[in-house]
Amino acid sequence: MTEPDNPRPAASIATTLIHHPYQPPAGFAAPQPGVFKASTVIFADSAAMRARDWKSKAGYTYGLHGTPTTFTLEERIATLEGGHHTVLVPSGLAAITLTDLALLGAGDEVLIPDNAYGPGKELARHELARWGITHRFYDPLDASALAAMLTPATRLVWVEAPGSVTMEFPDLANLVRAARSTGAVVALDNTWGAGLAFNAFEVGADVSVHALTKYPSGGGDVLMGSVTTRNPALHLKLNAAHMRMGWGVGANDAESVLRALPSLPLRYAAQDQAGRTLAQWWAQRPEVAQVLHPAWPGSPGHAHWKQLCTQAAGLFSIVFDARYGRAQVDAFVDALKVFKIGFSWAGPVSLVVSYDLKAMRATPAWQGILVRFSIGLEAVDDLIADSEQALAALNRAVA
Ligand SMILES: Cc1ncc(COP(=O)(O)O)c(C=O)c1O
């Protein structure tokens, strides 16, 4: 008997297209892991559904709590950071927020370096303050001052190396030792080091927060953050808060980061080399009062960087001589052609932002206007030529 050419399925075509019986053969292998997209996860039966523990990575419960794609990225980030457990959140700032909210409660205090990523300080000033969590800012270059600030209420101490605008590199080991002396948890913003320049856990951090938006994504097109620990009890707290607050990440974004991770060490090294070449070029310029790059001798905390690291991110700042005012510096920034004006760093496009130090710090260490450069993947000679031609606008504006 011959089969009909086009057998009609017993169910309607709409149902069959949804519940199609075909299963592709197992064992497909390719350079990149597959991408699994889900809000709903389907269970074999009711008992399987009831037996599921959302905290366990032995299976799946709901897209928010993990898919093969997000579990794979979590494991790779944990390895990159030298930790054991990672949770993913929708941005680097969300990673800071998750850490604060998971580990602090009313009556607790958090200490934050005064050169820390600004929005994390704003979070403390506003949301944390409204919820009865107090904060103080400390000088990251003075470990003994930090030690003197600790009280029994200090439950969390943030460290960041270096400060992401003024680039001071602290003595991490001493800061961590001071913070630990009263049992506070130490959280490190490890975005600059990217898991490559130094190991967060070897310097004593309990929690490492990473804006995957920067080097791990590398494209300037994804927002994501991670929170990594070695400590299972801390991870459980972070994971529980993560679950209750509903901060999952989408599969397409996780895939973008997974795709960029293999080139991370190469990109980091290339951007480091180009950043140092440019920092050195700026250091020779008469318009510049200070180069702020941890690998540059004379930059605050350079000795601490040298003790801990050989690598650096492609990120640095310069402070123009105080004779150049806002209009002149704006003329310089606006004259740049290869560098684009924009926030963030670690993508392929070199970026520039000028900051008002007086608005950022109670007692700015420098009088001139600060300009931060994020070095992308363009040819370094083109970046130098661009900087040089834009300096003509600075000097023209001052004349
Ligand atoms: C040091 C540092 N931490 C955290 C963040 C926040 O990352 P995101 O932009 O993904 O929120 C940034 C962003 O610029 C940063 O520079």
Q: Ligand 1: distance of its center to the CA of 263 in Å? A: 20
Q: pLDDT averaged over the chain?
A: 95
Grade residue 12 by pLDDT with cuts at 50, 70 and 90. very high
Provide the phi-psi class of 204: left if phi over 0, else alpha when psi is between -120 and 50, else beta. Answer: left
| pLDDT exceeds cutoff 60 at 36 | yes
Q: Ligand 1: distance of its center to the CA of 62 in Å? A: 28
Contacts of 227 (CB under 8 A, 6+ apart): 86, 87, 89, 95, 98, 99, 207, 208, 209, 238, 242
- Tokens 């990109």: give the residue: 267
* Sheet of strand 185-189: strand arrangement: 85-89, 225-229, 207-211, 185-189, 154-160, 109-113, 134-138
User: Does residue 162 have a cis peptide bond before it, meaning omega lies within 30 degrees of 0?
Assistant: yes
**Single pTM value for the model:** 0.95
Nearest atom of ligand 1 to the alpha carbon of 225: 10
Torsion of CA 266, 83, 316, 219, to 10 degrees: 50
CB 238 within 8 A of CB 87: yes
Nearest atom of ligand 1 to the alpha carbon of 224: 10
Grade residue 369 by pLDDT with cuts at 50, 70 and 90. very high
Q: Ligand 1: distance of its center to the CA of 164 in Å? A: 9
344 lines ligand 1 (CB under 6 A): yes
How far apart CA 74 and CA 209 sit, in angstroms, is 13
189 lines ligand 1 (CB under 6 A): yes
Condensed to tens digits (0 to 9), the pLDDT of residues 328-338 reads 999 999 999 99
Q: Ligand 1: distance of its center to the CA of 285 in Å? A: 30
| pLDDT exceeds cutoff 60 at 292 | yes
Contacts of 257 (CB under 8 A, 6+ apart): 73, 212, 216, 217, 222, 224
H-run or E-run covering 188: strand 185-189
What's the confidence (pLDDT) of residue 399?
59
**Integer CA distances (angstroms), 112 to 126, 154, 203, in order:** 14, 11, 17
Q: Ligand 1: distance of its center to the CA of 213 in Å? A: 7
Q: Which two tokens stand for residue 110?
A: 């958090």
164 lines ligand 1 (CB under 6 A): yes
Type of residue at 75: E
Q: Ligand 1: distance of its center to the CA of 281 in Å? A: 27
- Choice from 115, 169, 190, 213 to test ligand 1 binding pocket (greatest atom count within 8 A of CB): 213
Type of residue at 24: P
CB 140 within 8 A of CB 168: yes
Grade residue 361 by pLDDT with cuts at 50, 70 and 90. confident
115 lines ligand 1 (CB under 6 A): no
213 lines ligand 1 (CB under 6 A): yes
What's the confidence (pLDDT) of residue 397?
66
**Integer CA distances (angstroms), 348 to 42, 223, 343, in order:** 39, 15, 13
| pLDDT exceeds cutoff 50 at 265 | yes
| pLDDT exceeds cutoff 50 at 1 | no
CB 86 within 8 A of CB 74: yes
Q: Whose CA is nearest to atom 15 of ligand 1?
A: 117
What's the confidence (pLDDT) of residue 21?
94
The C-alpha angle 266, 258, 238, rounded to 5 degrees, equals 110
Condensed to tens digits (0 to 9), the pLDDT of residues 75-127 reads 999 999 999 999 999 999 999 999 999 999 999 999 999 999 999 999 999 99
**Strands annotated E in 247-399:** 288-292, 315-320, 340-341, 351-355, 370-374
Type of residue at 250: G
What's the confidence (pLDDT) of residue 345?
97
Please give the DSSP secondary-structure letter assigned to residue 298: T
